[in-house]
Amino acid sequence: MEQGGARERAAEEPYPLVDGAARVPGQPRGGVRAPSPACPPAARGEHTHGEPPGPDLVPRPVRRHSVRGQVLQALRTALVGGDLVPGRVYSAPTLAERFGVSATPVREAMQRLASEGAVEVVPNRGFRVTARTPRELAELAEVRALIEIPVMLRLARTVPAARWAELRPLAEATGAAAARGDRAHYAETDRAFHRAVLALAGNEQLLVVADDLHRRSQWPLTNGPAARHGDLVADAAEHTALLDALVGRDLTVVQTLVREHFTGSGG
């Protein structure tokens, strides 16, 4: 038992890196550590034979400080960008080869995504990417509106204009990402902007719930294309318009902008 525990710990950390950084999908596959032998792939739902070709994910450099966190972030980026195709099944060992790490951090990241509803476990095969339907996205938008609109209306009445001015750089960051057509970076900056607004309410649980709903609303539609460039630009412009309405304490405009923003493509 002691030897098995030692093997499991050795498989978990540290994870192999290439040139000081974990390799991401699309880079060469040399120097990949095999999955931990403690549990065969088939027993973990990771059959790889006959699996369709994986996504040609865009390489993104990552640093060593947290391989697990880097893999999770890269997978989330792939989900938002549509590089992980809704309805398709991916195995942890196959994705691990593309990252240049062992299967363990990939499996852990996929389990985290499964708990968030982004993927589902397929026994003896791997993980299937969840297909978001228009109805599901509409329901998420409704729930977000029910939670966030009352909070923003309260903040509009109480937060001084100087505090809203501090959020201008975040709104500008979403605009820059949208102008480049960078959907993945737009998703990150969009969440950062909304977190900063809601953080002014001083409610940590609100931030946790709102961020979870926000992530779920950003995944692609069933077999649908990524948001068009013009849609992202329009959504980004709503951030600046929202700040203007909050500064002016125009409650009607605040409510309208937030509701429309949630039903847009960028979220």
Q: How many domains does the chain have?
A: 2
Q: Which of 108, 103, 125, 110 is nearest to 76 (CA)?
A: 110
Mean pLDDT across 144-172: 95
The number of beta carbons lying within 10 Å of the beta carbon of residue 21 is: 16
Whether residue 107 is found in the same domain as residue 208 = no
Query: CA 177 to CA 232: how far, in whole Å?
Result: 9
Residue 39 has pLDDT above 70, yes or no: no
Mean pLDDT across 141-164: 95
The answer to whether residue 267 sits within a structural domain is no
Whether residue 85 is found in the same domain as residue 205 = no
What angle separates helix 183-199 from helix 67-81, to the nearest 10 degrees? 110
Q: What is the pLDDT of residue 203?
A: 97
Whether residue 76 is found in the same domain as residue 152 = no
The answer to whether residue 222 sits within a structural domain is yes
Alpha-carbon distances, residue 60 vs 24, 26, 44, 119 (angstroms)? 6, 9, 28, 22
Whether residue 85 is found in the same domain as residue 107 = yes
The answer to whether residue 115 sits within a structural domain is yes
Residue 139 has pLDDT above 60, yes or no: yes
Q: Which domain holds residue 213?
A: 134-262
Q: How confident is the model at residue 79 (pLDDT cuts 50, 70, 90)?
A: confident
Whether residue 77 is found in the same domain as residue 160 = no
* 99 in Cβ contact with 15 (< 8 Å): no
CATH of the domain at 22: 1.10.10.10
Whether residue 169 is found in the same domain as residue 54 = no
